[in-house]
Amino acid sequence: MDAEPGNPALAAWHDGTAKQAILDFVARVTTQGHPDFVPPAHRIAVFDNDGTLWVERPLPVQFYFALDRIRALAPQHPEWRDRQPFKAALERDMAALAATGVEGLVELVMATHAGITTEAFEALVGDWTATARHPRFGRLHTDLVYQPMLDVLALLRANGFTIFIVSGGGIEFMRTFSEAIYGIPPDRVIGSSIVTRYVVQDGRPVLMREAKLHFNGDKDEKPVGINMHVGRRPIAAFGNSDGDFAMLEWVTSGPGARFGLIIHHDDADREYAYDRDAGLACLSRGLDEGPNRGWTIVSVKNDWKRVFPFDVDTSRA
């Protein structure tokens, strides 16, 4: 399931202000003697995951995992047939599910992500990821990564950057695939987590996942998660929704050269078009304030030659 590696020359990007802004920033912070030069230990970049590195529409990938797991567990839970949010999940009734709100979502997560060891959870996610397919593209979710962003990862790596994922998604969910599809190892993945507890079962120590939130890594908690896991303020941040606003604000407010980038999904033909009315994936404040803050706003339609690794570049046609 390894993705096509990225191209450090940003081959999947059209020439334009966005591509140029990325290249200029990297050149400035890596040129010895340049006033914006940054030593390698401080070349830290953070990336949101859903909608920034891979597709998050029509629903975030982890949500499909939860729905499939509800179905798999349903035979042991006959009571779910008549109880929300489980009934809606089993019937894939998205309107009824949405009506259960964040509480419903949390209940689904706890019912599907807890009560097992970390090892068992990793195996479950691995098995699921190896077979589950996206409803529109018919591809594995792990194939639906953005080639232009793989290019950015490759460019930053080639220039001595250390890269972290900073997502509102589950930290242990993402870690099962982050190294294979992005080349980002588990210790460089930051996200939401539930409580785990050390237990010795019949002489064998395990970590049990409990149905209790430990850290909700979205929005204003993104800088908090970065501080907790990285311990240094990054110099570059990449996101796509207002859930990333605080992260971009914090990163780009530091001294010296800073870089903030927001992907605006405006290409319904090749992927999806969504912004101000996109619920959890809403992008509104970022569009309004980003340009004045010096952030680069990327148009999928105009800036990306290819969206996915399997796309053919049709832009030259």
The token pair that represents 179 in the structure block: 């190294």
* SS3 (DSSP) at 201: strand
Among 43, 175, 258, 264, indicate the residue that binds a copy of itself (CB under 8 A). Answer: 175
**Count of residues touching a copy of itself (by CB under 8 A):** 34
Instruction: Using the minimum distance from each CB to a copy of itself, give the nearer residue, 179 or 267.
Output: 179
- Phi, psi torsion values for 306, nearest 5 degrees: -125, 150
Q: Are 262 and 296 in contact (CB under 8 A)?
A: yes
Our finding on whether 157 is near a copy of itself (CB under 8 A) is: no
Least gap, CB of 101 to a copy of itself (angstroms): 24
Least gap, CB of 249 to a copy of itself (angstroms): 6
Among 16, 185, 291, 294, indicate the residue that binds a copy of itself (CB under 8 A). Answer: 185
Tell me, residue by residue from 24 to 63, as one string, x for binding to a copy of itself by CB under 8 A and - for no binding.
Answer: -----------------x----------------------
Least gap, CB of 2 to a copy of itself (angstroms): 15
Instruction: Using the minimum distance from each CB to a copy of itself, give the nearer residue, 147 or 162.
Output: 162
CA distance 248 to 227: 14
* Nearest alpha carbon to residue 201 among 126, 122, 120: 120
Instruction: Using the minimum distance from each CB to a copy of itself, give the nearer residue, 195 or 268.
Output: 195
What order do you get walking across the sheet with 162-170 strand by strand?
204-215, 189-201, 162-170, 44-47, 236-239, 259-264, 296-299
Least gap, CB of 217 to a copy of itself (angstroms): 12
Least gap, CB of 278 to a copy of itself (angstroms): 23
Q: Are 276 and 242 in contact (CB under 8 A)?
A: no
Among 111, 189, 236, 298, indicate the residue that binds a copy of itself (CB under 8 A). Answer: 189
CA distance 142 to 184: 14
CA distance 89 to 96: 9
Contact range with a copy of itself by CB under 8 A, out of 17-25, 136-144, 218-226, 236-244:
218-226
Our finding on whether 155 is near a copy of itself (CB under 8 A) is: no
Among 35, 75, 138, 205, indicate the residue that binds a copy of itself (CB under 8 A). Answer: 205
* SS3 (DSSP) at 299: strand
Q: Are 235 and 44 in contact (CB under 8 A)?
A: yes
Burial class of residue 31 in the structure, from the number of CB atoms within 10 Å of its CB (0-12 exposed, 13-18 middle, 19+ buried): exposed
For strand 296-299 and strand 204-215, is the pairing parallel, antiparallel, or unpaired? unpaired
Which residues of this chain interact with a copy of itself, rule CB under 8 A? 41, 118, 162, 171-172, 175, 179, 185-189, 193, 196-198, 200, 204-205, 207, 220-221, 223-224, 227-232, 246, 249-250, 253
